[in-house]
């Protein structure tokens, strides 16, 4: 139900409401275009992110298979000791980029230091392969996390924009239109009343 605006039925108020209605309609069109563009971009990014997630899940499963093979070929104590020596540094830098007026994060991963610092005599080749695969996979996982975060932010922006579009379309614009119609009807009624009064006065003047 559209709430009625409390306005004074005069021409100044009518002019002011017409200007506000024009601004509201223009804002509604801009927000509707933004919403449509956001949804289009969101769907395209969602499809790409889903494909990327599927690829990374397959790579991650392969990494775990290599690690399980290495664990089966080594004594637990030797595996633990080798993993303690397999150290390196990982630095993640965050920046932001604008996607359809939404500020989404972007991460840059920098890895330094040797990863295979353990002795090779008591370790299996499967452990080397697993650690190399995990290391290569880390930047991709961070990138996937950034893409999924961007999708969540875009979804929130779409919902926020949709609420604003609906408020303009179903509340504000109809209330302006009803108020303009009501003022116009009252002004027309006042004009007809004044015209009738003038005609009566004119007839009285003629009679005298």
Digit-by-digit pLDDT tens for the chain (208 residues) are 455 667 777 888 889 999 999 999 999 999 999 999 999 999 999 999 999 999 999 999 988 888 888 777 776 777 676 666 656 677 888 888 887 788 888 888 887 765 565 555 556 667 777 778 888 888 899 999 999 999 999 999 999 999 999 999 999 999 999 999 988 888 888 878 777 777 777 777 777 6
- Does residue 64 come out as left (phi exceeding 0), alpha (psi in the -120 to 50 range) or beta? alpha
- Burial code (b: 16+ CB inside 10 Å, e: under 16) for 163-196 equals ebbeebeeebbebbeebbebbeeeeeeeeeeeee
φ and ψ at residue 48, rounded to 5 degrees: -65, -40
Q: Read off the tokens for 203.
A: 């007839």
Domain boundary assignment for the chain: 11-202
Residue 88 gets which letter from DSSP?
-
Using DSSP's 3-state secondary structure scheme, residue 104 falls into: strand
CB atoms within 10 A of CB 103: 11
| Cα distances (angstroms) measured from residue 139 to each of 36, 53, 142, 168, 176 | 32, 13, 5, 43, 53
Q: In this structure, which topology does domain 11-202 adopt according to CATH?
A: Helix Hairpins (1.10.287)
Model's pTM, two decimal places?
A: 0.74
φ and ψ at residue 86, rounded to 5 degrees: -80, 75
């Amino acid at each position: 139900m559209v709430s009625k605006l409390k306005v004074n039925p005069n021409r100044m108020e009518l002019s002011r409401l017409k200007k506000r209605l024009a601004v509201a309609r223009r804002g509604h069109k801009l927000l509707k275009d933004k919403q449509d563009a956001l949804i289009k971009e969101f769907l395209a990014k969602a499809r790409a992110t889903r494909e990327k997630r599927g690829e990374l899940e397959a790579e991650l499963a392969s990494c775990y298979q290599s690690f399980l093979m290495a664990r089966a070929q080594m004594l637990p104590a030797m595996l633990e000791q080798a993993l303690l020596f397999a150290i390196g540094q990982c630095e993640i830098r965050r920046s932001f980029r604008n996607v359809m007026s939404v500020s989404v994060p972007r991460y840059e991963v920098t890895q330094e230091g040797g990863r295979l610092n353990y002795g090779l005599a008591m370790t299996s080749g499967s452990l080397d392969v697993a650690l190399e695969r995990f290391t290569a996979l880390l930047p991709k996982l961070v990138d996937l996390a950034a893409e999924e975060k961007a999708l969540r932010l875009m979804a929130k922006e779409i919902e926020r924009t949709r609420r604003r579009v609906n408020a303009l379309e179903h509340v504000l614009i109809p209330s302006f239109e009803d108020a303009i119609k009501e003022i116009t009807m009252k002004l027309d009624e006042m004009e007809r009343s004044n015209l009738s009064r003038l005609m009566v006065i004119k007839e009285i003047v003629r009679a005298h």
